[in-house]
Every structure is written in C-alpha cells, then in structure tokens.
Amino acid sequence: MFPRKLHTILFSSVLLLSGVSYSQDYQVNDVRVDGLEQLEPGVVFAAMGVDPADRTYRGNAQALIQRLYATDLFEDIKIGRSGNKLIVTVKEFPIIDEVVLEGNKDLKDKQIKDVLSSMNLAPGRSYSPAKIQLMRNQLLKVYETRGKYHVKVDVVEKKLPRNRVRVIFKISEGKTAKIREINFIGNNSISDRKLRNQMGTKVSSFKTILSGGDKYNPVTIDQDLEKINEFYQNRGFLKVNVGYSFATVSQDREDMHVDIHVDEGERYRFAGVDVVGNTIIDKEELLKLVEIESGKLYKKSDVDDAVKAISDRLGNDGYALARVNAIPTIDEENKTVSFAFAVDGGDRSYVRRINVVGNSRTQDAVFRREMRQMEGSPFATNDIERSRVRIQRLPHIEAVDVQTEQVSNDEVDLTYKVKERSAGSVQFGVSYGQDSKFGIMAGFNQPNFMGTGHDLSVNAETDKSGQTFSIGYTDPYFTNNGLSLGIELQYSKRKHDWDDTGNYIADGYSAMLKLGYPLTEYTSLSGGIGYERLSLSTTPESPWEITEMLSGKSCVRDPRDPGICDRDLTPRYKDRRNLYRFRFGIDRDTRDRTVFATSGTYNYAGINGTLPGSKDKFYKLMYSHKSYFTPFTDDDNFVLALSADVAAGYG
C-alpha cells in the first residue's frame, strides 16, 4: 500500500505523458493511484484487476476507465504513463456522512431508509447525482403504491470537511388519491354491493372520512381481491378467478377508478371425502373430523377446517410436523368435487425449548406459569393453543402468536410472540357540592404491578364532609398450583357537621381476605372472609325507619313531614356495629380474552353476607352471564356481546 502523502507525486508527469492511446493494449510493471481521500488504493486495484503484490497491469486504458467508473465511486478519472509506470488520478465522489429526512409522515423514517439502503444510499457510501436521481424516482414509485401522486422530493447537499456530505431529503407528500368508483365486470351471480362489502377498500363517502378506507393502496386492493375470491369459493365457485385489469387515475391525480374482473365459472358440489397416506391414527377417527356433506355446495372454508382438524388431531398426539394436503378430484360432467386428504404423519416430536419474546414490561415467569405445554414433553396442539389463550387472557396482553421451529427430526422449539398493552390507569378528578364544597378524587390501578402480574389498586377521595381511602392487592399465583391470594382494605371518615342533609351517616373501616382456586381449566372457586366496623348515626333528615332501627324505639312523626321523626322530640342516635362478612362464588370462563373478548362465555354464581356474631344479618345471591360472538364475519372488529345479571337479597 502506498503512503497517502505520495498520492500527488508525479502529477505533472501524468499530464505530460497522458497522450497515450486509450484503445491501445499495453503492459506496465508498476501502477500508482493519485487523488484518494477516503478510499484505500486497494479498492482501485481491485476494480482494475491489479494484484497489489506486484502491481502490474495488462490491457487497454479505455476498459480500465470503464471499470473504474462502474464502481460509482469516482467523479473523474485520468490515466497516464511514465515509462513502465501507469498513473491513475481520480477524484472521489463525496462520502455520505448522514441522511436526513424531513416532511415524511405516511412513510416512516425506517421505511424510507430501507429503500435508500437497498440502493446503496446510506452513511459510509459514495454520493453521486445519478444515484440521487434514481433514488428520487424510486421514492416516487413507493409513494405511488400508497396512492400518493403529488409527492415532491427535493435533495439538498451540505458539504462537510474531509470530502463528506450530509444529504437532506425534503419531502412534500401531498394528498392520497381517493377511490371514487369500484366497478365489477363478470359478476353474474353475486351483486356488486355484496362484493364491495367484502373489501376493506371503500368508495369515498361521508362514512370514510374517519376510517380512511377510501384511500388508494394497491396492497390493500390485492388483499381485497383475495377476500372476494374466497367469498366466491365459499359459495360453490371452485374455479373462480378474480383480478383487476387496471386502476385509472384522474387528470388531477386525486381520484382513482378501479375495475375488478371476475370469471365466476360453474358451481360445484361435494361428492365425497377420503383420508389416505400414513395416517398413524385410525382412519375412521380422522374421517369423523371432516365435516363435509355430499351434495352440499363446495365451500373452501370446510376444506380448510378439515385440514386443520386433522393436523390438530395429529399434533395433539405429538406429530408436530405432520402434513395434510387436500387433493381434489373434479367431475366436470356432474359438477362435483371429491377430496382425498393425504396425510404424512412423520415422526413424533418433543418440545425442546419454549421461548417468550416481546415482553419488555412483564417478567418471563408470568407467562411460563400459564403454559400447559411443557418443555421436554410430547408436542400437543391442544396444550399449545390453550397456553396461547391463557397468555392472551392476561389483562396486560393484547395478542399472542405461536411459531414452531424444527430443530431436529424429533424436536421442535416453540416461540410465543406477545404484544403487550398498557392496562394500568390513573384517575384524577375535582368535584364541588353545596355542602361538601370542593373535593378531590384520585385513583391508581395496575393489573401488572412491577411486571409481576399482581393486581394493585389504590383510591382516595376527600372533601369537606370527609375522606374515603381504599387499597387492594392480589397475587394470582400465590402458590404454584394457582391459588390466588388478595386483600382489600377500606377506611371511611365522615364529618357529621357537614352531613345534616343526609339520610344517615356511616363511618368505619373494613378488611377482606380473598382466596381463589382453579377446579378445572375453565372453572374456579373464589371466596373471602372479612371484618367491617360501622359507626352509624342519624340526622334530622333521617327517615323514621332508620331512626327506629338505630334507636330500637318508636318515634313521634313530624306533623309537617310524616316521613321523618319529630325533630324536637327525637334525639340523634348513634350505634356501632361489628359485621363479620363472607363471600363465596364459582365461575366458569371460556372467553378468549378477559379484556375485549371476541368469543366464549362467562358465568358466575355467588353469595355474600354476614356470618353469625354480626349485629346485622343480610345475604345476597347473584348470578351473572356474558356471551361473546362474531355473528356476521370472521373479523374480530365486530363483536356481539350479550349479558344478564340477576340478584336477590335478604335482610
């Protein structure tokens, strides 16, 4: 390698001797490179095809220059010859020091920089006008795929020391073209309206102002075509073909018109099913899982469900890598189709390792205690899916995805990818009342306290008439077998002077110890026992029933208001009561989530009241039911929830 300080030596001789014919073949015994600032001479030697060890060159100058320009590293190249020495003088393109993006909103920085990097426009790469123009054109194409036809991209270069440059992309994205019309061609059996209802892309209207569904996006339209194709196939059209020939943009480049072509074909019916291959499990048992009826219209989802049911059944016996293919046999004369489900069970698999990723806030143990599939155990589809649902039911988890990776012939790794959500809440409020004046309310609830999965809630309220404070804490896995333990504490103190308009005054404190225990995978028992100390007192406005209950005596009614006792003849009474409380319940919960459920049911039956030794006796029976459905679509965005609550009390 030549020392940098020698790169400019003999530059004058290069100028004097550069009259060599560029098309002439020649041979030199030494090569020198001048003008380098950032690059090493070895880069030039490699492009020339010169071995740095002997630095000899055989060839013609024109081919040499073309090879060097092809590297896109040099702005100018000159060659000269001095005796048996070839001298190459270059002027480098600047090196990109930084890429700055301004004005982009629809495309994120990372998306644009990924496109730039794919075209070698990134820090450390060379900067050339030709590359910038290609990059500008590529960015415009990317924006067009998102329905933006008014994008402007200006590139500003800021020169830095040491032949470096900062490249600034100033982007004006403009408006996104909107869908003004969607036309269907060839749909003789299904109406335009029904087909449009399958699409996420919508014609621009008042309804799409908030949803943004009227914005043109080729990716979304491709997904819509798949939905329409599946819609047809679930109605007997086995050979339907859906595609759009073109989407035209208006002259002002703000409106799009989309034409979708449909070749419906004929309707087919199911003729029969069979299970073939290395079934491992009894063939008749697998056939019972296939809910396909002969004579019924062909429905793609029925075939998909059958493939999944067979795969899950094999997976539940440990055959994680089983393959099930639905092979159709079409009878064109009778317009029927039969399916043979070809099964290759493969080897039985065991779970080597279970990984949990995506949990930045929650401890790993919180997820692992929900697992029903164990490491080292046979692969079991039902246990894997149940583990996924149990994790998804945690209030601080939004979604869970499971991936299976084969690591050997009989071992797989499972990866649960979780998406966390902020389930905690903080509340603060200010109130005003005629008697209580200004009041402050504050609350904190966190079902994943410190990432432990424990539930903590704290609430406080204060005004001129008194204060109320409560705290609750629950550990859902106090023991490894799922026994939950929790405590609730409450304190209330009222200032009587400010409650004269109330029916009665109740001060006191309470404590409740709660327990829960799972009986089965879906059924749990819960219970609690506690103590409550109440201090009750009457006011001049207390109903006569409350006054007589607290005093144990009859009172003289006020002639002006028979609903209360005579204020002059009836003193104010106070009473302290000790209550020993209990609660007991049983619930069955099959919901897929505890927050924003989309399927399953929740049933709870319980009783609470007072135990012997309490001054008051009362009991309350309760029943609660909730059901969740997605009745009109498989999309979880629309959920129908039904609920009912019944209660009865005594005392």
Q: Give 73's contacts (C-beta < 8 A, 6+ positions apart).
A: 39, 43, 92, 93, 126
d(CA 262, CA 198) in angstroms, rounded, equals 14
The confidence score (pLDDT) of residue 5 equals: 36
Q: Are 587 and 526 in contact (CB under 8 A)?
A: yes
Range in 65-74, 89-98, 240-249, 439-448 the model is least confident about: 240-249
333 three-class SS = coil
pLDDT higher than 60, residue 634: no
Range in 216-220, 376-380, 458-462 the model is least confident about: 216-220
pLDDT tens profile 97-134: 888 888 888 888 888 888 888 877 888 888 887 778 88
The confidence score (pLDDT) of residue 285 equals: 92
pLDDT higher than 60, residue 303: yes
pLDDT tens profile 566-607: 766 667 777 788 999 999 999 999 999 998 899 999 999 999
What is the distance of C-alpha 294 from the center of its chain? Answer: 40
pLDDT higher than 60, residue 211: no
Average pLDDT estimate for 182-194: 91
Interior angle at CA 633, CA 629 and CA 639, nearest 5: 35
Confidence of residue 80 (pLDDT cuts 50, 70, 90): confident
What is the distance of C-alpha 305 from the center of its chain? Answer: 25
Q: Are 237 and 330 in contact (CB under 8 A)?
A: no
Range in 403-417, 490-504, 519-533 the model is least confident about: 490-504
pLDDT higher than 50, residue 15: no
Considering only CA atoms, which of 394, 398, 402 is closest in space to residue 366?
Answer: 394
Confidence of residue 394 (pLDDT cuts 50, 70, 90): very high
The single residue listed with the structure tokens 């609750």 is 472
Tell me which amino acid residue 579 is.
Answer: L
Q: Are 253 and 177 in contact (CB under 8 A)?
A: yes
Average pLDDT estimate for 394-415: 93
Q: Are 525 and 516 in contact (CB under 8 A)?
A: yes
Tell me which amino acid residue 612 is.
Answer: P
Q: Give 545's contacts (C-beta < 8 A, 6+ positions apart).
A: none
The confidence score (pLDDT) of residue 9 equals: 31
Range in 203-217, 377-391, 442-456 the model is least confident about: 203-217
pTM metric for this prediction: 0.67
The confidence score (pLDDT) of residue 499 equals: 44
d(CA 224, CA 237) in angstroms, rounded, equals 17
Tell me which amino acid residue 522 is.
Answer: Y
Q: Are 514 and 487 in contact (CB under 8 A)?
A: yes
d(CA 493, CA 505) in angstroms, rounded, equals 10
The confidence score (pLDDT) of residue 139 equals: 86
pLDDT tens profile 335-391: 999 999 999 988 899 999 999 999 999 999 999 999 999 999 999 999 999 999 999
Range in 15-19, 206-210, 411-415 the model is least confident about: 15-19
Confidence of residue 82 (pLDDT cuts 50, 70, 90): confident
User: What per-residue string of b and e applies to 445-458 under the rule 16 or more CB within 10 Å gives b?
Assistant: bbbbbebebbbbbe
Interior angle at CA 651, CA 615 and CA 485, nearest 5: 70
pLDDT higher than 80, residue 214: no
Backbone φ, ψ for residue 508 (5° rounding) = 160, -170
Structure tokens at 419: 């998406």
pLDDT tens profile 256-285: 788 899 999 999 999 999 999 988 889 999
What is the distance of C-alpha 650 from the center of its chain? Answer: 48
Average pLDDT estimate for 430-435: 74
Structure tokens at 75: 């702005």
d(CA 341, CA 291) in angstroms, rounded, equals 13
Structure tokens at 286: 């697998």
Range in 62-71, 92-101, 351-360 the model is least confident about: 62-71
Q: Give 637's contacts (C-beta < 8 A, 6+ positions apart).
A: none
d(CA 317, CA 382) in angstroms, rounded, equals 10
pLDDT higher than 70, residue 14: no
Range in 199-208, 430-439, 546-555 the model is least confident about: 199-208
Q: How far is CA 167 from CA 94, 141, 143, 330, 428, in A?
A: 11, 20, 20, 60, 47
Sign of CA dihedral 221, 223, 224, 225: positive
Average pLDDT estimate for 286-315: 94
Confidence of residue 444 (pLDDT cuts 50, 70, 90): very high
Q: How far is CA 353 from CA 42, 277, 325, 368, 374, in A?
A: 47, 30, 28, 12, 9
The confidence score (pLDDT) of residue 239 equals: 94
Confidence of residue 28 (pLDDT cuts 50, 70, 90): low
Q: Are 222 and 199 in contact (CB under 8 A)?
A: no
Confidence of residue 328 (pLDDT cuts 50, 70, 90): very high
Q: How far is CA 288 from CA 30, 274, 325, 328, 581, in A?
A: 82, 11, 17, 19, 52
137, containing H or E segment: helix 129-144
Average pLDDT estimate for 77-89: 80
Backbone φ, ψ for residue 149 (5° rounding) = -115, 5
Q: Are 499 and 465 in contact (CB under 8 A)?
A: yes
Interior angle at CA 377, CA 376 and CA 382, nearest 5: 135
Q: How far is CA 546 from CA 494, 539, 578, in A?
A: 18, 10, 18
Secondary structure of the chain: what % helix, strand, coil (to 5)?
A: 20, 45, 35
The single residue listed with the structure tokens 């200032």 is 495
pLDDT higher than 50, residue 13: no
d(CA 309, CA 273) in angstroms, rounded, equals 14
The confidence score (pLDDT) of residue 6 equals: 35
Q: Are 335 and 269 in contact (CB under 8 A)?
A: yes
Write the DSSP symbol of residue 176: B
- pLDDT, greater one: 633 or 585: 585
Q: Are 174 and 248 in contact (CB under 8 A)?
A: no
- pLDDT, greater one: 40 or 478: 478
Backbone φ, ψ for residue 140 (5° rounding) = -60, -40
Structure tokens at 482: 């799922």
The confidence score (pLDDT) of residue 19 equals: 42
Sign of CA dihedral 139, 140, 146, 150: positive
- Averaged pLDDT of the chain: 84
108, containing H or E segment: none
For the chain, which domains are there?
Answer: 4-92 (3.10.20.310), 95-172 (3.10.20.310), 178-263 (3.10.20.310), 269-344 (3.10.20.310), 350-420 (3.10.20.310), 425-650 (2.40.160.50)
The confidence score (pLDDT) of residue 498 equals: 44
The confidence score (pLDDT) of residue 635 equals: 58
Average pLDDT estimate for 209-224: 70
pLDDT higher than 60, residue 612: yes
Range in 7-21, 190-204, 365-379, 565-579 the model is least confident about: 7-21
Considering only CA atoms, which of 416, 361, 363 is closest in space to residue 392?
Answer: 416
